A and B are shown apart, each in its own frame.
Chain A
Amino acid sequence: MAFATIDVTKGITGVTPVANGGTGATSFAPGKVLQVVEAFQTSNNYTTSTSYATLFSKAITPSAASSTILVIASIGYNLYGNGSSSFPNGTIQLLDNDDNVIARTFANASGNVSTDQTDQWNSSLTLAKLDSPNTTSAHTYKISYKVGSGRFGILGASGGSSDNASTITLIEIGA
């Protein structure tokens, strides 16, 4: 028997029960993730400076002032004794659009084994913050870094690949 064509824009009501393969839901709320943007560090940068310097950033324009922004930064780093430090260390900060510090993390090496203070450490750290910028204007988040002792490097894309680069990801969450 041939089926007649059903116009789904008209006259279809009711809920398909879960037992019959339906969802049981009568309606759905809109999705909460409204947009995702990402940037990555394009080069390896090293510092011996004890003053913060901004390395890379990413802007997002919230679609509603009531949205929150989940900021996730994954930072690959290198610590080196540089012939002068047995305990090289550095600090990484996440800044908001007005350069307020909204997250901070520390990279510390456990001590040089070599007597000439030339050991290397490569590892990664993650910063995360749920921010409420309360704006629909472009809002920029930045990564800055400084050394505490020795030499501190932030690792970027190697050979043009972003696969192992330090990244910052901004996720707009609807209210």
Chain B
Amino acid sequence: MTDFDKMTISITNLQANSEYSVEYDGGSVDEALFNSIDWVSENNLTWSQVQTEMDKL
């Protein structure tokens, strides 16, 4: 499981039914990537929350 996979799974775990699109070409999975997400549904998550969830995977 890549860090990118961990990020998208973490978003699902923390905020079920999240709808968004994101461009990712294999670079760092970090706050800049998280902030680049184009949300279709409402987002109430922070990068810190997602990062904590990613560390559990």
A residues sitting closer than 8 Å to B (CB atoms) are: 43-51, 53, 80, 82-84, 118, 151, 156, 158
Contact = CB atoms under 8 A, between A and B. Distances in A.
Given A46-B21, A47-B21, A118 B1 contact: yes
Contacts of A53: 21
21 contacts: A44-B23, A44-B24, A44-B26, A45-B21, A45-B23, A45-B24, A46-B22, A47-B20, A47-B21, A49-B21, A49-B41, A50-B19, A80-B5, A82-B5, A82-B9, A82-B12, A83-B13, A84-B9, A118-B1, A156-B25, A158-B26
Contact of B19 (A43, A49, A80, A156): A49
B42 to A, nearest CB: 13
Contacts, number: 55
B4 to A, nearest CB: 8
A80 B11 CA distance: 14
The interface residues of chain A, by DSSP majority, are classed as loop
